[in-house]
């Protein structure tokens, strides 16, 4: 289990401003207080990775508030995802949009899906009460040889729930269709595996740079829609 947590803790326009990974807890982004051109992303190490590949038109700034090992329900050595979201909003005001990714660590540690959903709904209600445009990202697929495939069924149930209109405030996307292996639907394409040894073994969870880029491009249209909505 300790080894699993270690793995989990380790995601044509002019690029927007993207800090290299999350700020140390308690730091302040250079564009605080926020305006409606700031995108605040949140989540675990997957959120860190795909945010670093995010490219938006130059008028927008992206603040990567994701943090490795962050979860919706379990407090390890970092704040909950909801705590990070609320901290930055309380400190800097409402951004143009909040992007939220997460949930895989909760699943792999046996948290019931109902508890994850309850935590997501609580955060969703908090954001709705403040009128903050929000984009939710479902859990990405795993390599077919990954030990995390044991949670693939629950992952799919969660993503279906998350992307069902009316379940959460804002919009939600499941990027599985752009990341999956056509020969093995519902699993990560080998083109996106992060290879960790000379034998071609995948990391098991984290995508490679191409995978993070695909996730960023999958999420980008929803972010732009939220930023430009009247």
Q: Evaluate whether 73 touches 14 at the Cβ level (below 8 Å).
A: no
Model confidence, pTM: 0.89
What integer pLDDT is reported at residue 19 of this predicted model? Answer: 43
Tell how many helices (H) and how many strands (E) occur in the chain: 8, 9
| Token representation of residue 226 | 């939220």
**Which residues, including other chains, have CB under 8 Å from residue 108's CB and lie 6 or more apart?**
4, 8, 148, 151
The average confidence (pLDDT) of the chain is: 90
* Cβ neighbourhood burial of 24 (10 Å; 0-12, 13-18, 19+): exposed
Q: Do you find a cis peptide bond into 36, omega within 30 degrees of 0?
A: no
| Nearest partner of 215 among 71, 127, 78, 104, judged by Cα | 104
| Residues in the chain, pLDDT under 50 | 1-26
């Amino acid at each position: 289990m300790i080894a699993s947590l270690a793995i989990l803790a380790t995601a044509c326009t002019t690029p927007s401003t993207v800090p290299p990974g999350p700020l140390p807890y308690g730091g302040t982004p250079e564009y605080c207080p926020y305006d409606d051109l700031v995108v605040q992303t949140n989540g675990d190490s997957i959120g860190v990775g795909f945010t670093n590949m995010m490219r938006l038109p130059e008028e927008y700034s992206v603040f990567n508030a994701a943090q490795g090992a962050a979860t919706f329900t379990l407090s390890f050595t970092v704040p909950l995802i909801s705590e990070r979201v609320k901290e930055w909003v309380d400190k800097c005001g409402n951004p143009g949009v909040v992007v939220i990714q997460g949930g895989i660590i909760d699943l792999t540690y046996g948290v019931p899906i109902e508890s994850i959903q309850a935590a997501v709904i609580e955060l969703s209600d908090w954001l709705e009460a403040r009128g903050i445009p929000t984009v939710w990202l479902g859990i990405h697929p795993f390599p077919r040889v990954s030990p995390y495939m044991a949670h693939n069924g629950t992952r799919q149930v969660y993503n279906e729930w998350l992307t069902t209109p009316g379940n959460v405030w804002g919009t939600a996307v499941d990027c599985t269709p752009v990341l999956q292996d056509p020969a093995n639907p519902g699993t990560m394409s080998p083109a996106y595996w992060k290879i960790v040894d000379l034998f071609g073994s995948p990391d098991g969870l984290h995508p490679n740079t191409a995978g993070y880029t695909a996730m960023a491009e999958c999420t980008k249209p929803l972010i732009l829609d939220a930023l430009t909505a009247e």
